[in-house]
Amino acid sequence: MNDPLRIPFSACPLCDSQTLVQEATADCSRHPLYKQPLSPVMNWNHCTACGHVFTEGYFTPEGAALVFSSTNTSQKLGQDLERQRMLAARMVEKVLPYVSDGTWLDVGFGNGALLFTAQEYGFTPVGADLRTENVTQLKALGISAILKNSNWKRPAPSSA
Ligand SMILES: [Zn+2]
Tell whether 17 and 52 lie within a shared domain. yes
Tell whether 63 and 77 lie within a shared domain. no
How remote is the CA of residue 51 from the centroid of ligand 1, in Å? 6
How remote is the CA of residue 21 from the centroid of ligand 1, in Å? 11
Q: Is 24 among the domain residues?
A: yes
User: What residues pack around ion ligand 1 (CB closer than 5 A)?
Assistant: 12, 14-15, 17, 47, 49-50, 52
Tell whether 114 and 131 lie within a shared domain. yes
DSSP E strand boundaries for the chain: 6-8, 20-27, 41-47, 53-55, 57-59, 103-107, 124-129, 144-147
How remote is the CA of residue 59 from the centroid of ligand 1, in Å? 19
> Residue 118 in 3-state DSSP?
helix
How remote is the CA of residue 57 from the centroid of ligand 1, in Å? 14
Tell whether 54 and 119 lie within a shared domain. no
How remote is the CA of residue 50 from the centroid of ligand 1, in Å? 4
Backbone angles phi, psi at 31, to 5 degrees: -65, 140
Q: Which of 150, 151, 153, 81 is nearest to 110 (CA)?
A: 81
Q: Against a cut of 0.85, is the pTM above it?
A: no
Q: Is 127 among the domain residues?
A: yes
Tell whether 95 and 140 lie within a shared domain. yes
Q: Which of 20, 15, 1, 117 is nearest to 63 (CA)?
A: 1
CATH number, domain of 93, equals: 3.40.50.720
pLDDT per residue as tens, the chain (160 positions): 678 999 999 999 999 999 999 999 999 999 888 999 999 999 999 999 999 999 999 999 899 888 888 888 888 999 999 999 999 999 999 999 999 999 999 999 999 999 999 999 999 999 999 888 899 999 999 999 998 865 555 555 555 4
Q: Count of domains in the chain?
A: 2
